[in-house]
Structure formats: C-alpha cells, structure tokens
Amino acid sequence: MKDKVLTILSDFLNRLNAHKDFTAEDFRLTADYNESLTLGQKENELLGPYNMPSISKSLTASLYIRWLDKKVSNVNLNYDAIMNFSDEIGGWREKAFHDEWAPAIWHEEAFDNNDALKYKMYDEEIAGIIDGKAEFLFEAIKHIDTKLRPISKLITVNAFATINRRFIFLGPKAATPVYDFQFSLAGIAFEIDNQYSDSFIKRRMFTLKDISAIIEKALKFYPSFNSSADKIDMLPKPAVKNIILTPSVSDSFISKYILSNLHGRPVVEKQSRFALDEFNSQEKHFRDDISIKFEPDFDEYEVNNIPLTYEGVYCAPVYFVKNGKLQTPILDLKYAKKAEMPPTPYLSAESFLCSEYKIKIETGEYECVDNILNDMQEGFIIFDILGMHTQDHTSGDFSISVPHALMISGAKIAGMVKLSISGNFFEILNHHNTKFLNWYGEGDSLLLKCTCS
C-alpha cells in the first residue's frame, strides 16, 4: 500500500479547492485504494482460462458536494476522473439537484482516527500474499480438494485476498484525511458437485484449521445428499412440520425479512412493513424475548468489526428492536434527517467494501442443536433454499423450494428429500414454538414450524 495514493488524493483536493468552478460550501470525499488477488480451481482443475491468478488494482472515490447555491451532487470517481477533474466539474454541476433532505457533512465527536487502532481490520499476511507470496492459497485449494475428493466428483474452489486503504476527507477546503484506515479481507469458498457449498471469510488470512471446520461439516452432511429418502409417509399431503434452518439459511431469512424492512429509506418512504410512526411510538412487532441489534464484533478481524460508515458516522452498538419493540430504522445521514432521528451504523457494501455484515437476534435462550435433534420424531434440516431473493419482504409471506433437506425420523437422519416450505416469517418468528439454536458453535439457527410439502 503506497503513500503515493494519499499524495494523489491530497494533490487532487488542493487543486479542486483552488479551482474557480468548485463553488462548494462543503464536501466529503470517501476514497478507496484496493489491491486484490483471486485464483481458483474449477471442477477439479486448478486455474485454467476462467480461474487464472488475477491481480487487480484500483483507486475509486465517492464525492458528496454541497454547493453554495444549496444544490448537492453525488459523484463516483475513478482514477482518470480524479487526475483530470477539471474536465468533469461541468458534469458534476449539471447533475447537481435541490434536495431539501440533503444532509450536512457529518463530523464525528465520538471517534477519532486514533480509535481505529482498536479495530483489528488489517492483516499484513494478506498483503504479502497479494505481493507474490501466494503459495498458501494454492496449498489451501489443494487441501480442500484432497479432503473432499473421496465424497465428491466435481470440486470447485475459489480463494481471494484483498487489501484496502480508505481515506475520508471532510470539507470545507480539506486536503488531508480526517480518517485513514487500512483493512483487508480474505476468503475461500468451495462447491461440491454443484450441490453443496460453504465458505470462510475474515479480515485476516484464513488458516488450514479454519478450513478444516468447513471441511468437517461437509464430510459429516454431504454424503447424505446422495442418499434419498421417501417423504410420502411423513408428508402424504402438505402439513405443518418442524424444520431446523442451518445458520446460512437463517441468515438469509433474517436479511430478507428483517434487515430489508429496517432500512431507513423504505421505512420513511412507506415501502417497508414497518412505518416510521411505529418506531417513534416503539410499537411491539416481535416477541418479548426478541431484540435485534448491530454491534461491532470486537473479536479481532471479524467482518462486522467496522468503526465508521462510509459517511463517517461512528458505528456504535444499536438496538433496532428491543424486547420486541421497534427502536430505530437503519439510518444513513439523509434518512436520519428525514426521520428526525440520529444516524445509525449503515450496513451496506460501501461500509468497508463487504456485503457480509450481520445483525444479531438477541434472545434469552439458545438451545444446542443436538438436543433438539435427539428429541425430534419428525422434521427436516434445511441446508439450502432456492428463490429467497424473489420473495416479498414487506408481506412476510414465503413460498420457497428446498433442494436439499435432511429428513429426521425417530431422532435419526432418514435421508435427503426435496421440499417446498411456506408460511409467514413474522408470524412464525413470533410463535412461542420457534426456538433459537446454536449450530455446532458456528452461528445461530432456528427451529420453527411451517407448512412443508
């Protein structure tokens, strides 16, 4: 990571601030320098013309300008536009617009750049891999291939490593950054026979031990994918049954139905299940024992461990729902202003270039999944689902295909079946029968009852 990038950006801002057409009252520049390396194995063959080693370098930035005439501009810049901005200013002005809800530039009081050191977000080892010491990525891919080959025909593995440097400049007339972070990300994902997939991602370099955990899970469950069961005795017709959602399936339900309905824009613009008034009056929409929150994961190198939003707002822990009652939507600066509420951590891909941020359901009791399985006479474990992104999050209704569900009969795995599951997620989540489980230490999962066919 070169300081040359900071020099380029500071030079750009010095020239911009001096330019006769840059009649800005205030501005914010959030700039990212990124270097990455990807490589992989496709269907048992390492590298090849689709999975060759790829190195990418880029400098991008988003510029928010409040002009003297009270118009605003939102501009995404690339390197060329940064270097030759004088050709661009006319376009920025042309696309400026009046927005009565346009927020002022945010200057954080609760956080300064020294606090960034508390957040372990950057791993030098990842930088070394991108810089040419990539043997471990090959070793990791080979490790997965060797371990999974006995149970599968086609193994696809992709690995990546990225390092980033983010600068946030806050105007007016700024040419040195208020915030300057280094952060990194590395991950590996595999897919077996186009049927079963898993991944590991963190802000540090993964280890073979990290990979072993996801391999062990595949070795435990994937062989059952090829052992079909007949569900006709258990499901002669559509019926309400117990199902256990694995952590990744739980996450997709929570993202689709809860996160989508908490974002400030749909709430304020009446396109969410929840109305803004209901947050103000703290309406009860969930069970008493359910709270929904975001908090930085102070475990080192976790993806959720982010200090600031891309607008420079401190990511303080926040409850969106507490004891079943709505507290606040997820608010960026514009919708915080429009909602007349404080901004919150804003969980979008712009926040430290990752789309894996998670909200957490906090509840009184988590049961061990093995205890549930040992008592389950009839039910299914849901490993993957098709079509979640097509569902209507506002209604809460779901009607989803399950290509791989393990049927449980008499507390034993009976084999793999295909299912359709349907119901209303909000009604089910609030039902007293719905339980929160700990899935083998990996993450939270859910036990619930819904219509299966």
Partner 1 sequence: MAHTKKTRTGFDDAFKFIETRDDHEILKAMYEGALKIYETEKIYLINRIQKKRAVSITIINGELSDITSSARRGAGIHAFDAQGASAFISSNTYPEINFNAVCDALKNLIKASSAFDIKRNTDIFSLEPQLNIINGDYRHPFENYELNDIIERVKAANKKSCEIDKTRLSVTTNCSIVIDEFIIMRSDGTFSSFGIPRTALSSSITAKDGGKTASVGARLGSSDLSVIYDETTHGEFLSQSEFYGREAVKLCSAPSIESGKYRVVIDYALAKGLAHEAFGHAAEADLHKGSILWKNEKFIKGEKVASENIDITDGPIFNDYAWQPAGANGNLRAQTAIVKKGVVEKSLCDIFSAREAGVANENSERIEGFDCPAIPRMTNIRLQHSNPIKTDKKFYELSPSGVNKILSDNGLIAEECDTLLLLGYKGGQVSPAAGDFVFNCSMIYKMNYKNEPRLYKPAIFAGKTLSALKAIISAIGPVKSDALGMCGKNGQGVPSSGGSNYYLVIDKDDDITIG
Tell me, rounded to whole angstroms, the distance of Cα 91 from its chain centroid: 33
Pick from 11, 53, 208, 367 the residue near partner 1 by CB under 8 A: 53
Pick from 58, 40, 57: which is nearest to 48 by CA?
Answer: 40
Instruction: Tell the smallest beta-carbon distance from residue 115 to partner 1 (Å).
Output: 30
The verdict on whether omega for the bond into residue 172 sits within 30 degrees of 0, i.e. cis, is yes
* Rg over CA atoms, the chain: 24
Q: Which of residues 54-73 bind partner 1 (CB under 8 A)?
A: 54-60, 73
Measured from the CB atom, the residue of 20 and 98 that comes closer to partner 1 is: 98
Pick from 202, 204, 231, 393 the residue near partner 1 by CB under 8 A: 393
How far is Cα 151 from Cα 192, in angstroms, rounded to an integer?
A: 9
Binding of residue 429 to partner 1 (CB under 8 A): no
Q: Segment contacting partner 1 (CB under 8 A): 35-43, 241-249, 304-312, 439-447?
A: 35-43
- Strands (E) in 171-236, as ranges, are 179-192, 196-202
Q: Where are the alpha helices (H) located in 119-246, listed in sequence order?
A: 124-130, 135-148, 208-225
Measured from the CB atom, the residue of 139 and 367 that comes closer to partner 1 is: 139
What string of DSSP letters covers 378-403?
EEEEEEEEE-GGGS-TTT-EEEEEEE
Binding of residue 397 to partner 1 (CB under 8 A): yes
How far is Cα 284 from Cα 327, in angstroms, rounded to an integer?
A: 10
How far is Cα 206 from Cα 277, in angstroms, rounded to an integer?
A: 45
Q: Which of residues 271-300 bind partner 1 (CB under 8 A)?
A: 271, 273
**Which residues, 6 or more positions from 252, have their beta carbon under 8 angstroms from its beta carbon?**
385, 388
Q: Segment contacting partner 1 (CB under 8 A): 118-126, 215-223, 262-270, 287-295?
A: 262-270
Q: Which of residues 178-237 bind partner 1 (CB under 8 A)?
A: 193-195
Q: Segment contacting partner 1 (CB under 8 A): 24-32, 36-44, 110-118, 240-248?
A: 36-44
Binding of residue 422 to partner 1 (CB under 8 A): yes
Pick from 10, 14, 17, 74 the residue near partner 1 by CB under 8 A: 74
Binding of residue 86 to partner 1 (CB under 8 A): no
Instruction: Tell the smallest beta-carbon distance from residue 5 to partner 1 (Å).
Output: 11
Q: Segment contacting partner 1 (CB under 8 A): 44-52, 228-236, 307-315, 409-417?
A: 44-52
Q: Which of residues 311-340 bind partner 1 (CB under 8 A)?
A: none
Q: Segment contacting partner 1 (CB under 8 A): 162-170, 173-181, 227-235, 414-422?
A: 414-422
Binding of residue 88 to partner 1 (CB under 8 A): yes
How far is Cα 76 from Cα 92, in angstroms, rounded to an integer?
A: 10
Backbone angles phi, psi at 317, to 5 degrees: -55, 145
Tally of CB atoms within 10 A around 263: 19
Binding of residue 23 to partner 1 (CB under 8 A): no
Measured from the CB atom, the residue of 57 and 173 that comes closer to partner 1 is: 57
Tally of CB atoms within 10 A around 237: 6
